Chain A
Amino acid sequence: MATLKINGVEKEFAGGIPATVAELLGHLGIEAATVVAEIDGEIIERARFSETQLRQGQAIELVRFVPGG
Chain B
Amino acid sequence: MPETIKEKLGQASVGIAGLGGLGSTVAAALARTGIGKLVIADFDRVDSSNLNRQQYFTNQIGQPKVDTTIENLRRINPDVKVEGHCERLNADNVPEIFGGVDIIAECFDTAQEKQMLVETVLSRMEGLIIVSASGLAGYGNSNAIETRRVSRRHILVGDGVSGIDSSGVLTAGRVWIAAAHQANAIVEVIVDEIKSDV
Spell out A's residues near B (CB within 8 Å).
33-36, 38, 41, 43, 45-46, 61, 63-69
Shortest CB distance A47–B (Å): 9
Number of residue pairs spanning A and B whose beta carbons lie under 8 angstroms apart: 85
**Contacts A33-B112, A34-B115 given; does A68 touch B163 at CB 8 Å:** yes
What are the residues of chain B within 8 A of A67 when measuring CB–CB? Answer: 109-111, 114, 137, 163-165
Q: Is the CB of A38 within 8 A of B154?
A: yes
Partner of A65, one of B23, B111, B175: B111
Shortest CB distance B198–A (Å): 27
Q: Is the CB of A66 within 8 A of B165?
A: yes
**B160-182 Cβ-contact flags toward A at 8 Å (1 or 0):** 11111111001000010000000
Chain B, range 101-154, C-beta contacts under 8 Å to A: 107-112, 114-115, 118-119, 122-123, 132-137, 150-152, 154
**B7-37 Cβ-contact flags toward A at 8 Å (1 or 0):** 0000000000010111100000000000000
**Contacts A33-B115, A36-B119, A63-B118 given; does A68 touch B170 at CB 8 Å:** yes
Q: Is the CB of B119 within 8 A of A68?
A: no
Given A63-B134, A66-B111, A69-B109: 14 more A-B contacts, CB < 8 Å: A34-B114, A41-B151, A41-B152, A43-B119, A45-B123, A46-B115, A65-B132, A66-B166, A67-B164, A68-B136, A68-B164, A68-B175, A69-B114, A69-B133
Q: Report how many residues on chain B are interfacial, defined by Cβ distance under 8 Å.
A: 39
Q: Is the CB of A33 within 8 A of B156?
A: no
Partner of B162, one of A34, A35, A43, A68: A68
Q: Complex formed: what's the CA distance from A67 to B158 in Å?
A: 11
Q: Complex formed: what's the CA distance from A36 to B164 in Å?
A: 19
Specify which of A43, A45, A46, A66 lies most central, judged by the most chain B CB atoms within 10 Å of its CB.
Answer: A66
Q: Complex formed: what's the CA distance from A34 to B163 in Å?
A: 12
What are the residues of chain B within 8 A of A66 when measuring CB–CB? Answer: 111, 134-135, 137, 158, 160-166
Q: Complex formed: what's the CA distance from A3 to B48 in Å?
A: 50
* In the complex, residue of chain B having the shortest beta-carbon distance to the beta carbon of A37: B119
